[in-house]
Chain A
Amino acid sequence: NAGVTQTPKFQVLKTGQSMTLQCAQDMNHEYMSWYRQDPGMGLRLIHYSVGAGITDQGEVPNGYNVSRSTTEDFPLRLLSAAPSQTSVYFCASSYSGQGRTEAFFGQGTRLTVV
């Protein structure tokens, strides 16, 4: 089972460039999220989606856009990359039901902005 697939695994961007991080899940989960992970900060929520066509902002949404046209895909767009966006990005797909929410993560994308 593929689970959550993120691409690319590594990326180097120049300041001002744009790019899209891809995320796909095959578990038919309604919820999908994007997090960034920085040393000592845990995982901070960027954007999330509770279903196709529905997205909302998390804790640190500035500089990022998302869309959810299908249940399977949830791409994250960096509009104009900045060095402060150097981080490791994780996509998660979540099951929510019976009082619990459980997330399954991709392998991560290590992004460096120079």
Chain B
Amino acid sequence: TQLLEQSPQFLSIQEGENLTVYCNSSSVFSSLQWYRQEPGEGPVLLVTVVTGGEVKKLKRLTFQFGDARKDSSLHITAAQPGDTGLYLCAGAQGGKLIFGQGTELSVKP
């Protein structure tokens, strides 16, 4: 059983569409991160959210941390083919990072 559940696992959309990826857990995390991974590479950190209710924006990407610090969402506005990749959420418990299963996003031109 995954401690962090991500949904959807796969998403295929057309360029210009909006999308939201969810990351849910029954556990509280001291912080939550979102990573993006391209084929053949290691994950790269996009953002860290720390405070319940926090919202962070990174160009067309909006990240939100739930009030109870158990869940998070990633919203992409007007997706581009360059957004294609595997998106992973990770929750911090002490020094450990626990990852969700990932969301494989494909944006078609």
> A96 CA to B31 CA in the complex, in Å?
10
Q: A99-B30, A106-B42 are in contact. Are A42 and B95 (CB under 8 A)?
A: no
The distance from the CB of B36 to the nearest CB of chain A, in whole angstroms, is 11
Binds A, one of B13-21, B56-64, B74-82, B99-107: B99-107
Instruction: Tell whether B55 is near chain A: CB-to-CB under 8 Å.
Output: no
Interface residue tally of chain B, by bracket?
A: 20 to 34
The distance from the CB of A4 to the nearest CB of chain B, in whole angstroms, is 8
User: Are A94 and B95 interface neighbours, CB within 8 A?
Assistant: yes
User: Are A108 and B42 interface neighbours, CB within 8 A?
Assistant: yes
User: Are A30 and B95 interface neighbours, CB within 8 A?
Assistant: yes
Q: A42-B2, A42-B88, A100-B50 are in contact. Are A33 and B42 (CB under 8 A)?
A: no
Q: A43-B88, A102-B33, A105-B42 are in contact. Are A48 and B95 (CB under 8 A)?
A: yes
* Chain B residues with CB under 8 A of A105: 42-44
User: Are B30 and A100 interface neighbours, CB within 8 A?
Assistant: yes
Q: Which residue of B lies closest to A49 (CB)?
A: B95
User: Are A48 and B96 interface neighbours, CB within 8 A?
Assistant: yes
Instruction: Tell whether A50 is near chain B: CB-to-CB under 8 Å.
Output: yes
* Chain A residues with CB under 8 A of B42: 4, 90, 92, 105-108
28 contacts between A and B (CB under 8 A): A4-B42, A33-B96, A40-B9, A42-B4, A42-B99, A43-B43, A43-B99, A44-B99, A45-B98, A48-B96, A50-B95, A92-B97, A94-B95, A96-B92, A99-B31, A100-B92, A101-B33, A101-B92, A101-B95, A103-B33, A103-B45, A103-B97, A104-B45, A105-B44, A106-B42, A107-B41, A108-B40, A108-B42
Q: Which residues of B are interface residues toward A (Cβ below 8 A)? A: 2, 4, 6, 9, 30-31, 33, 35, 40-45, 48, 50, 88, 90, 92, 94-102
Q: Which residues of A are interface residues toward B (Cβ below 8 A)? A: 4, 30-31, 33, 35, 40-45, 48, 50, 58, 90, 92, 94, 96, 98-108
